[in-house]
Chain A
Amino acid sequence: MDHSAEQDKKGKSRRGFLVKAAVGVGVLLGTGYLTRPVWRRSIAGMVNTADAPYVGDTKTPPLWFEVTADNEIILRSPKVEMGQGTFTGLAQIAADELEVAIGRIKVVHASTASGNIDGFSTGGSTSISSLWMPLRELAATMREMLKNEAANILGVDVAALSVADGVITASERSLTYGEVVKEVKEWDIPAVPPLKDVSTYRYVGQPIPRVDLKDKVIGAPIFGMDAVLSDMLYGAVVRPTAIGSKYVSADTSRAEGMPGVVKVVKEKDFVGVVATSQMAADNAKKAIDVTWDIPKTWELSDIEAMIQVGQGTPYVIQKEGRAASILAAEEGIITAEYKSPIGAHAQMEPNGAVAHVTADQATVLISTQVVGLTRKEVADRLGFDQEQVNIQPTYLGGGFGRRLHTPHAIQAALMSRAVGKPVKYFFDRKEEFQNDTFRPPTHHVLKAKLGADGLIEAMEHNVSSGDVMFGSPILPGILEPIVGADVGAWRGGMIQYGKIPHYRAVSWRVKLPFATSWWRSLGLLANTFAIESFMDELAIQAGKDPVQFRLDQIQDDPAGRRLQAVITAAATRANWQDGVLPNGRAMGFAASTDANTPVAQVVEVAIVDNEIKVLKVTCAIDPGLAVNPDQVRSQCEGAIIMGMSAGMFEKMIVRNGELQPTIYGPYQMALMRDAPREIDVVLLAGTDAPGAVGEPPLGPIVAAIANAVFRLTGQRLREMPLTLV
């Protein structure tokens, strides 16, 4: 950052700071840090940059830190922890600038009443990258505030102070941060001090254990499903099984008098029941007969007919040169089609909520990725102001994008209001599978023409997809004409080989009759499967090594050099060899760039009893500065196997109007036996700030496997899940 920009930011930050006396526990420090052009940056950030901003919610008291009397520092995270390791990264960043041992930092979820929540969401692999600068500046400022006050108390110049592990010392005398906080009534807020050099950090860059590790190993009650309020009752809601169902009416006479039933709750759009136990609620729910209006009995063939390149509305999302006219030629054009199915989130913790609504206040404890949106939806439905609603997020038993819309908080709130007591309820697993916000199915048409030198002269990717971003209430509909194509659907859909003279990508939008939306990595999974499988086909047609074929067509700019670096690193580390190996295995290769993070993967595959077995995966990733290298590795390992699961096993179908299957097992997913015995992750750092981690490693895996399978069997598998003939 140049000097003038630094000065500018200081000024803004200074004006925005807020300090409040805490109730008996210490100091709360906050800031209205961000006044950036929010929506457009967020959208761009979700797609192509690692620079997505943290979007503060200006309606909430912007409180970040609380220092307790015994010198513990509570960091109220505006981002939720869903397994991605964000709490650990934030603790590392805060500990380094605050100069405390990391054990003193306790990260908790901010509620809408207690702290900053992210006005946008937790998602898009942006939690660490978006908070990297704000959190460092906040923590550094707080450290300086504490030092200034300590200097006043001790009657010395601030320059005479030293700080170590939350203790401020001047010659013989020492004060803990907690002791300073106890003495101060009014805070003077300094300008943001210069940040420490990253190379001097003790925690950032180190593979320290997750801060939530112990809780998760002992089974601590940290999830939404575990939430309890005193005098709580149990609710259940009847959900539809058929696509397009609209609630009409319900016959609740059988349920009314059943044992344990406290109240049947009928609202304009649903019917629920509140009972004294889970079992009683479940039994009563089964006794309610709901009449649904189901305009059409959908079948999978209906859906497949809609998801076709050429149907719906096309948007040109990338254009360089004259690809369309060159590829309109009648001869010499290579073309191939790919498909991906409907995918379920299948997160392990079902959706649900605990709500307590009184005459003028509502509290909701919930696993959600959209704290602010949930508050708004609950407030709107109850007729409350947003300030009357407190959403307390909990640890999430998996997010993966499923919790980027959690309107079931409304149903919990309405049931609570109906009985005047806290009510907890959650989906059963069948309801999860039939009321998901699915990963949309896709259809891809790839075309290319090879030049005389065996490199690509022109290439085009057409993708047809159900909505991703446009299916989501995170983004107001007014943005549709601004952003044009569905940026979620075409994530990963652009051609990343910039030396190709003529290329073009086109996104075809289709609105499906069931909800489709964010699924970890969005369009990246299917788009990369299609593009990188096709690249392999082209390399084979050109008689070239697929790794070199890619390297030769990447442009020489910063993004291109980072992509080349991960490709070279993965190939070198895996001892890349094209063709069937002496041990009967074959390698497959693919690469992608997502949210500015390039990833390359080499897989080793064997065919055992006519099944595809992935034995080893080598993954080179450049997420920039890895705040916690161990958690970057962990995210890569998980993303690789989740991508394998989606690419090799998972498939929702539509039959007789219903989405199926509705249970694990029939919805086949990767299990222990399917996980590679070896996963080798190579970390590169092509930039000095943290970038995206959680989603990018899902990109290459399916294509890499399909490319290996072709070498072993001669079968080019162009449809997910990959299935041998």
Chain B
Amino acid sequence: MKITFQINGTAQTVETDENTPLLWVIRDLLDLKGTKFGCGKAACGACTIHVNGEAVRSCSYAANLAAGQNITTIEGLAVGDELHPVQQAWLEEIVPQCGYCQPGFMMATAALLEKIPNPTDDDIDANIVNVCRCATYYRMRKAIHRAAAIKSVNQ
């Protein structure tokens, strides 16, 4: 079937089986590789994207549900050359090691900051539940607080 949606500010129409996980549409049909496959069961968060601003695990989100929705991936988080505050904070705290899970964490964090602009450590623990095998959690926590600070200054 044909499915039309907005992704990173651009309208796209794709031809795919309706049950294909949106992750494969994003990665293989639209060639946006920043969204990662980790587990295929919504258990790790590596594939986190935004659907209308909500963090969604795209490996377990059927493509037909995306019809008419507004989707953002890591490639759409920055505005032009200007990094999103979350990316900027990740850069400044030098968070990534292998880097594979990081887009999912940044997308989850960006969605969190829209709901809770200045999250406490407990807010972070409760809401950021992705998996990072390099275990960069210590720097991520610092980066999340820094992102909140950057975002509040920018606004």
Residues of A within 8 A of B (CB): 82-85, 209-210, 212-223, 225-226, 228, 234, 277-279, 345-350, 395-400, 426, 428-429, 630, 634-635, 637-642, 645, 663-665, 669-677, 679
Contact = CB atoms under 8 A, between A and B. Distances in A.
Contacts of B44: 348, 664
Contacts of B65: none
Contact of A348 (B33, B41, B131): B131
Interface string B39-82: 11101101000000000000000000000000001110010000
B24, B41, B133: most-surrounded residue (chain A CB, <10 A): B133
Contact of A279 (B20, B39, B138): B20
B148 interface: no
A348 B137 contact: no
Label chain B's interface by main secondary structure.
loop
A22 B45 CA distance: 43
A225 B101 CA distance: 12
Contacts of B37: 225, 350, 426
A187 B31 CA distance: 43
A210 to B, nearest CB: 6
A671 B78 contact: no
Interface of B: 16-17, 19-21, 24, 28, 31, 33-41, 43-44, 46, 73-75, 78, 83, 87, 90-91, 94, 96-103, 106, 121, 124-126, 128-141
Given A83-B97, A217-B90, A679-B138, A279 B24 contact: yes
Contacts of A84: 97
Given A219-B73, A219-B102, A277-B20, 7 more contacts: A218-B78, A218-B83, A225-B36, A428-B40, A635-B97, A673-B126, A675-B141
Q: Which 4 A-B pairs have the closest CB atoms?
A: A219-B34, A397-B100, A83-B98, A216-B99
Nearest to A642: B135
B73 to A, nearest CB: 7
B131 A671 contact: yes
Nearest to A352: B37
Nearest to A432: B39
Contacts of B140: 672
B134 A673 contact: no
B103 A278 contact: no
26 contacts: A83-B99, A212-B96, A212-B99, A213-B91, A216-B102, A218-B78, A218-B83, A219-B33, A220-B34, A221-B33, A225-B33, A234-B28, A279-B16, A279-B21, A348-B131, A349-B100, A350-B37, A398-B98, A634-B97, A634-B139, A638-B97, A671-B131, A671-B137, A673-B125, A675-B137, A677-B121
A348 B133 contact: yes
B28 to A, nearest CB: 6
A361 to B, nearest CB: 25
Contact of B98 (A234, A395, A671, A679): A395
Contacts of B141: 672, 675, 677
Contacts of A349: 36, 38, 98, 100
A402 B121 CA distance: 33
Nearest to A223: B100
Nearest to A671: B129
Contacts of B75: 218-219
Given A225-B36, A671-B129, A83 B138 contact: no
Nearest to B90: A217
A396 B97 contact: no
Contacts of A214: 91
A641 to B, nearest CB: 4
